[in-house]
Every structure is written in C-alpha cells, then in structure tokens.
Amino acid sequence: MNEMTSVSQETSAKTPALPDAQTVTDVKHWTDRLFSFRMTRPASMRFRSGEFVMIGLMGEVNEKTGKAKPLLRAYSIASPSWDEELEFYSIKVQDGPLTSRLQHIKVGDEVIMRPKPVGTLVHDALLPGKRIWFFATGTGFAPFASLLREPQTYEDYDEIIITHTCREAGELTYGRELIEGLQQDELLNEVIGDGFWKKIKYYPTTTREQSPKMGRITDLMRSGEAFDELGVEPLNPESDRAMICGNLAFNLELKEMFEEYGLEEGANSKPAHYVVEKAFLD
C-alpha cells in the first residue's frame, strides 16, 4: 500500500485504536508558531537520516458517510536513524487543517504515521565531496536536525556548514540548542570522535527581527558577505555538496544560484552535487 492509497482509504471513526498509531512521548513549544514532538518508533521501521514520512491525525467525521479518514502530511524526520524514538519539528498554522489540531497534542496521545520513509535529502544522493552545506528556512531545519546527528555526515565530510534563515530570532532556538547540544553529547562524541562538532559552521540569519546577522542567506551569498564571514570560497562542483530545505521560492532561488556555480542536482538514482526538498507547510 502506498501513501496515496492510505491517505484516501476510508476508516471507521468508531475504530478505537488509530491505524499505524504511535504514542507521543514529548512535546516542546518553541514559539507561538513552532513546536517539536517525539513519539514511539515501530521496531521494524528503518530510514535514512534526512528522509520524511506521512504523519497526521484522524480527520473530522463526514456527516453523510459517518466515517472519517486520516489527515496526513509529509514531515521530515528530525531525529537521526539510530534514535529509538522519532522526532518532528512543525509549524503551527491556526487555520491549517492538520497543524491547527496537531499543535495541541500531549504526551500519551496517538499520532498516525505511515512507516514508509522516502526523500532526497540523503547522503546516497550526493557524490563524495569535501564540504557539505545545509540550507534551511523555518521548519526546513528538520531534516538537518537528523543529519547533524548522523555519524556518516562527519565521516563523509571535512566541513559542515548549516545556514538557517528565519523571520524572527526565536525561530532559531530549536536549531541553535540542537547544535550547541552536540558539544555535550557524550554518546556522539564517543561514537563519531571527540570534538566532531568542530567541523560545523553555523550561520543563522533573521529577516524581520533584529539579530546578530540580518538578511536572507541568498542575498548574503550574492553579495559575498556570507562567504567572507564563513571564511570559504563560493560553492564549486569539485569540493562542495549541498542540501536545500525551505519554502518554494527559497528552494528555486538557491537552485538557480547553484546551477550558476556549476552544481548539478542529484537524486537517489543518480547522485550529483546538490539535492532539494520542500519544507512542509499546512
């Protein structure tokens, strides 16, 4: 069964246990627009860091049929492949069909998940390189929260640059705490190597609220400011690899810039220099 047939499959609203249900184990609210949560992971579920799954809740009961069907959206898994639980990072849209309700979940609640991970933001879709760039806006940080905790990221690259552009400073907190937390993560320091996190260069920017670095990353790259401050040359196909996850306009703008740099888009079936995925918006 694929996601499309699962999504449209009608299920009786009276069924007590949700299909493919997982149990919420933790919820954190970061701002009035952002929250993250953790839930149980099916023992049989395997995925590659950077992939996404369909998750959601039971929809409203249809008055005519008396039935409800699952309301599902694509969510990047924010936890790494080795984690025994699953983590997700979500926007709250007050009139969004799913997130208007999902934002109220509590520990012990059930969330539906189709355990069929897919996606292009995976190491397999890139050719070997020296430096990897992760470009995110808003909740597009989620797949990189997974990849920054994935040992292969540090085995494959000498340098990891993560840029995150958000409207407001508070929207950077989830990412910043995660990156700072890597320094104290005893398990990762032991498994990957003491001080592995020194390979990371973090470049957070805001566009609508004052912060130490203002501006869209795209503009800061065009002006050369981002490269000067990071102490690196602009991306080139010999040494640089990149993953993009943000809103549509951001993804398209970066794709265009990368093509100018001579980078080619990769896929699972044909690894190349960069890959793109659209961040979920409800």
Nearest approach, Cβ of residue 272 and ligand A2P (Å): 22
Shorter beta-carbon distance to ligand A2P: residue 86 or 226? 226
Q: Do residues 81 and 146 touch, judged by C-beta distance below 8 A?
A: yes
Is residue 133 within a helix (H) or strand (E), and if so which, with residue range?
Answer: strand 131-137
- Using CA atoms, how far residue 120 sits from 34, 124, 242, 267, 268, in Å, is 24, 9, 12, 6, 6
Position 249 contacts ligand A2P (CB under 6 A): yes
CB of 25 to ligand A2P, least distance (A): 28
CA–CA gap between residue 216 and residue 26 (Å, rounded): 32
Classify residue 51 by its DSSP letter: -
At CA 29, angle to CA 176 and CA 102, rounded to 5?
A: 125
- Per-position x/- string for 142-171, each x denoting binding to ligand A2P as judged by CB under 6 A, each - no binding: -----------------------xxx----
Interface mask (CB under 6 A) for ligand A2P, residues 199-238, using x and -?
Answer: --------xx-------x-x--------------------
- Under the binding rule (CB under 6 A), the answer on residue 90 touching ligand A2P is no
CA pair distance 66, 11, nearest whole angstrom: 10
Minimum CB distance to ligand A2P smaller for 146 or for 218:
218
Binding residue (CB under 6 A) for ligand A2P from 20, 51, 150, 253: 253
Which positions touch ligand A2P (CB under 6 A)? 137-138, 165-167, 207-208, 216, 218, 247, 249-250, 253
